[in-house]
Amino acid sequence: MESHFELNEVTKKLPKHLHQFIVNQPYEEYTAQNQAVWRYVMRLNVDYLKKVAHESYVDGLEKTGISVDAIPQMEGMNRILKEIGWAAVSVDGFIPPNAFMEFQAYNVLVIASDMRTIDHIEYTPAPDIIHEAAGHAPIIANPEYAEYLRRFGEIGSKAISSSKDYEMYEAIRLLSILKEDPNSTQEEIDAAQLAVEELQNNLGELSEMAQIRNLHWWTVEYGLIGTLDNPKIYGAGLLSSIGESSWCLQDEVKKIPYTLEAANVSFDITKPQPQLFVTPDFAKLSLVLEQFANTMALRKGGLNGIKKLIDSRSLGTIELSTGLQISGNFSNVLEFDGKPIYVQTKDKTALANRDKELIGHGVAYHTEGFGSPIGKLKGINIPIENMSPRDLEAYGIYEGKQTTLEFEGGVKVVGEVITGTRDLRGKIQLISFKNCTVTHQDTVLFDPSWGVYDMAVGVAVVSAYAGPASVDSFEDLAKVSETKTHKIQYSATDKALYKIYEAVRGLREGGVVSEEDIEQIFSKVSSQFSKDWLLPLELYELAVNYNYTAQKETLLTYLENLKCNKNYTTLIEKGVALCH
């Protein structure tokens, strides 16, 4: 099937289920005001951040093809990103955390294609192209940080969510969309804000996904690097916010050494951060990530890992000590003495080994779930997985033999052995029975009328994680949110204003600007668009560049009067300073 987006050397490795999140960048929908906002933010950022950002930032802008003067086109970025082994794709706002991190694992930078409005020029709660392209992209030009980001995605995509995490994702997505849309009502925004706050207050114990999202927030998004007394900025949320990039370095914002404890510190995406974590170097980020990975069910497995998957109510995988992987929606686990003795999925399930689906054991075969005992046989020291052919014969586990297997914990399998499935190393992973009954005390777990019984072999659960073992096993791995980013409806007045922005841009890029040009445009702006501050600022820049003294004085006076509106004061002051 043909892809709906252009593939390159990096993106062609993406699994198919991630393709649904990718959209074509709507470059023609960016208004001339959008372009002016990009230019203003980028000029301000480069001027300020070259003094306070990590040394990789300014070099990274050039290496990743980020222009100060125009919103980047994805195709152009990709031509340059491929030189460092990365790619970028356009998406519609926030996407689910697991999917976001899985993109990272494949060295793909996810870029929300929307552009913040002028009303949110300093900071936007919605992901936008300034945040993604100008925030994330430059730092990945640093090889050590790029590997951290890739590894983070690899581990983070396996983190198990709680059932409430997806609700929180949807609530934050809606709030960010409403806040960025100038046509949203205050009632809509207040209701969405309340929903987010209620969920935040009732999340309960943090899931693995919530914890690793905290680590992502305090590093990739809002990280500082260096010493506590003189840190530099590397987090994309700070690099892309002309408000917070200045505020974050003030004494009012508490600076804390970055440790694993950051995983337990939650954040509020709608407000400035009261504290930030400082890592001494990028190597410390990778160290803490590995420390966190060691706490995950991905590496610990066991009864607790299975219970996390059951609580998540989402597709997950357990791996047994034989290497057999069971992927599905886990619904039940029987336990004895703190260990799992029987595990069960519901609905479509697939079995795999080394992340490759076992032939004949996909979702088309296991349509109604899968269940199997786990552990050792009662009274027998040798686990089935370690039995030699002679051992199997001695214990009556061979083709055509009617046998009874009683496991520690009380699960009993009675049936006729059909065959066994081994891996390349010769380890038995599955044993199939006919006329089989599986029971635990008085509970029937499998009835002969249900058909062939496939029993997984494994003495322990060594890993449990979100998602399937084989990405080819399930078609609907992740769902795209039904809440779409709003396409802003522009009035005739808005469109007239954007035409003037376009004219000013044309003058600047054309290289020939007369005093009459500036005077005519300023007359129109001051009479028809008296609340706009960015256009007169751009005209002032032209007057300064061409040394038109009269126009400079007129525009500066006009801008000084606009500063009476406190929303514009700092923005105008910073913009005027840039022109000199």
Give the model confidence (pLDDT) of 147-175 as tens digits.
999 999 999 999 999 888 888 888 888 88
Element (H, E) at 146: helix 143-156
In a domain, 54, yes or no: yes
285 and 170, same structural domain? yes
In this model, does residue 480 exceed pLDDT 80? no
- Using alpha carbons, list the distances in angstroms from residue 384 to 148, 301, 333, 410, 423: 40, 20, 21, 16, 14
Q: Kindly give the residue spans of alpha helices, DSSP state H, lying in 224-364.
A: 236-239, 244-247, 282-293, 297-300, 302-312
In this model, does residue 445 exceed pLDDT 90? yes
Give the domain-ending residue among 275, 290, 305.
290
Q: Where does the pLDDT of residue 1 fall: very low under 50, low under 70, confident under 90, or very high at 90 and above? A: very low
568 and 497, same structural domain? yes
In a domain, 296, yes or no: no
Over the stretch 89-120, which tens digit does the pLDDT of each residue have? 999 888 888 888 999 999 999 988 888 889 88
349 and 209, same structural domain? no
- The DSSP code sequence of 359-370 is TT-STTTSTT--
CB atoms within 10 A of CB 386: 14
SS3 content of the chain, % helix, strand, coil (to 5): 45, 20, 35
- pLDDT recorded at residue 163: 80
Mean pLDDT value of segment 569-577:
93
47 and 182, same structural domain? yes
- pLDDT recorded at residue 520: 96
Mean pLDDT value of segment 310-319:
95
93 and 204, same structural domain? yes
- pLDDT recorded at residue 172: 82
CB atoms within 10 A of CB 564: 8
In this model, does residue 476 exceed pLDDT 50? yes
Give the domain-ending residue among 290, 324, 344.
290
Q: Identify the CA nearest to 146 among candidates 228, 85, 74, 100.
A: 85
- pLDDT recorded at residue 184: 87
In a domain, 59, yes or no: yes
- Kindly report the length of the chain: 580
CB atoms within 10 A of CB 540: 23
Q: Are strands 339-353 and 371-373 parallel, antiparallel or unpaired?
A: antiparallel
331 and 275, same structural domain? no
Provide the domain limits for residue 543: 492-578
Mean pLDDT value of segment 22-39:
93
Burial per residue of 151-181, b for 16 or more beta-carbon CB atoms within 10 angstroms, e otherwise: bbbbbbbbbbbbebbbebbbbbbbbbbbbbb
Residues in contact with 306: Cβ distance below 8 Å, sequence separation at least 6, in sequence order: 318, 330, 333, 340, 343, 461, 464
CATH number for the domain harbouring residue 103 = 1.10.800.10
- Using alpha carbons, list the distances in angstroms from residue 563 to 123, 532, 558, 572: 19, 11, 9, 7
176 and 134, same structural domain? yes
Q: Where does the pLDDT of residue 441 fall: very low under 50, low under 70, confident under 90, or very high at 90 and above? A: very high
For the chain, the domain total comes to: 3
Helix axes 32-52, 56-63, angle to 10 degrees: 140
In a domain, 185, yes or no: yes
333 and 251, same structural domain? no
In a domain, 431, yes or no: yes
277 DSSP β-pair partners? 256
Rg of the chain taking only CA atoms, in angstroms: 29
In this model, does residue 127 exceed pLDDT 80? no
Q: Are strands 224-226 and 275-279 parallel, antiparallel or unpaired?
A: parallel
Please state, rounded to an integer, the average pLDDT across all residues of the chain.
91
8 A C-beta contact, residue 320 and residue 332? no
Over the stretch 447-475, which tens digit does the pLDDT of each residue have? 999 999 999 999 999 999 999 999 889 97
Burial per residue of 547-556, b for 16 or more beta-carbon CB atoms within 10 angstroms, e otherwise: ebeebbebbb
Over the stretch 367-377, which tens digit does the pLDDT of each residue have? 999 999 999 99
Mean pLDDT value of segment 258-274:
88
Percent of the chain with pLDDT over 70: 98
386 and 529, same structural domain? no
- pLDDT recorded at residue 477: 65
- Using alpha carbons, list the distances in angstroms from residue 293 to 159, 162, 289, 405, 469: 9, 17, 6, 36, 18
Over the stretch 46-70, which tens digit does the pLDDT of each residue have? 889 989 999 999 888 888 878 899 9
318 and 286, same structural domain? no
CA distance 79 to 373: 52
Helix axes 549-562, 515-528, angle to 10 degrees: 20
In a domain, 322, yes or no: yes
- pLDDT recorded at residue 61: 85
Mean pLDDT value of segment 325-330:
98
CA distance 276 to 56: 20
506 and 428, same structural domain? no
Percent of the chain with pLDDT over 90: 66
Of 482 and 39, more confident: 39
Residues in contact with 292: Cβ distance below 8 Å, sequence separation at least 6, in sequence order: 155, 211, 212, 215, 260, 263
Beta strands in 378-535 (DSSP E): 402-406, 411-422, 428-440, 443-446, 453-456, 461-466
Q: Where does the pLDDT of residue 478 fall: very low under 50, low under 70, confident under 90, or very high at 90 and above? A: low
Burial class (CB in 10 A: 0-12, 13-18, 19+), 230: exposed
Q: Identify the CA nearest to 99 among candidates 30, 16, 21.
A: 21
173 and 262, same structural domain? yes
Cα dihedral: 76, 77, 78, 80 (round 10)? 90
In a domain, 94, yes or no: yes
